[in-house]
Amino acid sequence: MVKIILRNQEYEVRAGMTLHSALKKLGILPEGVLATRNGEMITEDEILREGDVIKLISVISGG
């Protein structure tokens, strides 16, 4: 499985899908986040591997 973390929420998706598919499955808009794996940014076409931990960084701020 692949762990995806956004703020204090953790999700799990199957390995082998792209980041884009994983975000779509979780209902997270790619426009609102950056994804990192081991501290490196990855693009939406990246295939998620077994054991990956993907940290999502929310980019929307304002008030």
Partner 1 sequence: MKCRKCGGKAAINMRQHKLALCREHFLDWIPEQTERFIKKYRMFTREEKILVAVSGGKDSLALWDILWRLGYQADGLYIALGIDGGIAYSAESQRLTEAFAAERGLKLHVVDMARDYGHTIPQLAEVTRRGQDKPCSVCGLVKRHEMNRIARDLGYDVLATGHNLDDEAAVLFGNTLRWAGEYLVRQGPVLPASPGLARKVKPLCRFYEREMAAYALMRGITYIYEECPFATGATSIYYKELLNRLENDRPGAKLSFYLAFLQAKKEGLFASRSEEVVPLLNTCPTCGQPTSAPGQCSFCRMMARVSAEEA
- Footprint on residues 1-60 left by partner 1 (CB under 8 A): 29-34, 36, 40-46, 57, 59-60
Nearer to partner 1, 45 or 50 (CB): 45
Instruction: Provide the minimum distance between the beta carbon of 12 and partner 1 in the complex, in angstroms, as a whole number.
Output: 23
SS (H, E, C) the chain: CEEEEECCEEEEECCCCEHHHHHHHHCCCHHHEEEEECCEEECCCCECCCCCEEEEEECCCCC
Residue 9 or 43 with smaller CB distance to partner 1: 43
Nearer to partner 1, 12 or 19 (CB): 19
